[in-house]
Chain A
């Protein structure tokens, strides 16, 4: 067996590698890079959460849990969804603990899609929806969002792309990479279309707590939507727990049961250490989480002002920890811009087209960095823009 490639399925061979991966390889070979390229908090997991994990290990919690996750954790998740969004889920049948939202996305798509079913995916968006749709046998249908509408999904765009094969709509707001959000009115605008076309919504709300100047609204809270929405969330962003890999899905009991069936064969259960930490996060972590969110908000304003001053304007992102400025003043493509920026000024940003065609002409800048770090990066970017202004 000399060429392993020949043994790999056509589907997997044809999946394009992530554009972020390619850029990561480039960036990690350059010394002294100031990065604005990450997709995770700069905070380490709060100490009390880490400490709760040590304590659970000391007491010997090292075994499997129920497939759906520890019941105590599912109960806390249900309580949290209730106090945060006023959504009521039965912890026994309507909550599933997963290995991050990544696994939950994959499970949801695999249990919902028959061959050829269409999945409506707004772009720019996180990188896994299209590959997961393809691997589940579905057909991805891209919904374009634009800077003029602050990258919100509009009713017109949704209406234009719905066909009789449409089955699932994915919503990820607050959005990675744009930082855009969908407010209540924006969501209300879509509801009758969703219901009339019998769509299931997979609502990835991992950045929900990172909403500034207002509170996140889950589409599941709108009339008629709870039963046809699978809410995905987790601990990575809000509680600074990316490496723990704990997420969850809440929704219709039949769909959750189907997801759990698949989960038990492929994952068995999420790691107990992470579940113990997540339990502590929900029981005692909200105050510290709010402090972290406030801190992101400070840096959000700082980078937004700084980008504007150096000539890379952006709409005001009201969520996540990203700014998505337009680079049109340089006349470069987002790939060219990002590559030149890292080679000439050693600043790493992520080219917008890594998140789909609608991201072309933009770059993603993460502001989960210290104030000094952000200012240093802005200074270098300022010099770069001044040099390449057309």
Chain B
């Protein structure tokens, strides 16, 4: 596996890994790892470094919805133009082009139900390329980005064993 790929995998698992730690783990020079990370950031292979948070546990009762959006693709730009416009709204957390019964899957986050319905009815559904929307509200989260929310698999090993 290439150095680039190893670095990316380690950072994806834990963005707090420092270049020094990664260099030690991979048996590489720290400067080389730091340069590689800088390059990957510059080339936007690494888009950002973020934390995965259980907001519900932090006392936030925000609401998330997955919106199925059917759109009319446009000449020359296909789905990209409308998708990029949707991306610009800060309420929108993720946008995916899908195969199947609808075109775009849009993940929307708001402070409450009303907040989201206002966004969809006033901003999203009114765009002229949007034919229809179907909104599904998230009721409970179990796993996100590889992390299980209620993970009970703690270290159960004895302190010392042969």
A interface residues with partner B (beta carbon < 8 Å): 18, 20, 23-24, 27-28, 33, 35, 37-40, 42, 44, 126-128, 176, 298-299, 301-302, 305-306, 348, 350, 371, 375
Contacts and interface: CB of A to CB of B under 8 A. Distances in A.
B27 interface: yes
Contacts of B21: 302, 371, 375
A38 B24 contact: no
Contact of B160 (A37, A44, A127, A302): A37
**Which residue, of B10, B153, B159, has the highest number of chain A Cβ atoms within 10 A?**
B159
Interface in B137-162: 153, 155, 157-162
Given A44-B153, A301-B27, A33 B159 contact: yes
A302 B159 contact: no
Given A27-B160, A33-B159, A371-B21, 10 more contacts: A24-B160, A28-B159, A40-B161, A44-B153, A176-B162, A298-B26, A299-B25, A302-B21, A371-B17, A375-B21
A20 B25 contact: no
B20 to A, nearest CB: 10
A127 B160 CA distance: 14
B25 A38 contact: no
A38 B17 contact: no
B112 interface: no
A44 to B, nearest CB: 5
B7 to A, nearest CB: 11
How many of chain B's residues touch chain A, expressed as a range? 10 to 19
B160 A350 contact: yes
A306 B10 CA distance: 19
7 contacts: A24-B158, A33-B159, A37-B161, A39-B161, A40-B157, A301-B24, A350-B160
A38 B159 contact: yes
Contacts, number: 57
A23 B153 CA distance: 26
B14 interface: yes
B25 A301 contact: yes
A44 B153 CA distance: 8
B28 to A, nearest CB: 10
A20 B157 CA distance: 15
A28 B158 CA distance: 8
B162 A298 contact: no
Contacts of A371: 14, 17, 21, 25
Nearest to A375: B21
Contacts of A37: 159-161
A207 to B, nearest CB: 13
Interface in B59-91: none
A357 to B, nearest CB: 17
Contact of B159 (A27, A42, A126, A176): A27
Given A44-B153, A298-B10, A371-B14, A305 B158 contact: no
B9 to A, nearest CB: 9
B118 to A, nearest CB: 41
A24 B159 CA distance: 7
Given A298-B26, A301-B26, A371-B14, A126 B155 contact: no
Nearest to A177: B162
Interface in B10-42: 10, 14, 17, 21, 24-27
Contacts of B162: 18, 20, 39, 126-128, 176
A371 B162 CA distance: 22
Given A298-B10, A371-B17, A20 B26 contact: no
Contacts of A42: 155, 157
A106 to B, nearest CB: 15
Given A301-B24, A301-B26, A301-B27, A23 B14 contact: no
